[in-house]
Amino acid sequence: MKRVPREQCRFSFSRSSGAGGQNVNKVNSKATLHWDLNTAEIPADVLERLRSRYGGFITQDNELQITSQENRTQKDNVEDCFDRLERMLENVWRAPKKRKATKPTYGSVMKRLSTKKKDSEKKKSRREKF
Indicate the domain borders of the chain: 1-130
Residue-wise pLDDT for 12-49, tens only, equals 888 877 666 666 667 788 899 999 988 888 889 999 99
Residue 56 gets which letter from DSSP? Answer: G
Q: What is the CATH number of domain 1-130?
A: 3.30.160.20
Reported pTM: 0.69
Q: In what order do the strands lie in the sheet with 9-14?
A: 9-14, 30-36, 63-68
Distance CA 47, CA 91 (A): 12
Instruction: Say if residue 87's pLDDT is above 80.
Output: yes
- Sequence-distant (≥ 6) Cβ neighbours of residue 69 within 8 angstroms: 16, 17, 18, 29, 30, 31, 77
The candidate with the shortest Cα–Cα distance to 41, out of 78, 8, 85, is: 8
Instruction: Say if residue 106's pLDDT is above 90.
Output: yes
Q: With H, G, I as helix, E, B as strand and everything else as coil, classify residue 31.
A: strand
pLDDT (average), residues 54-78: 90
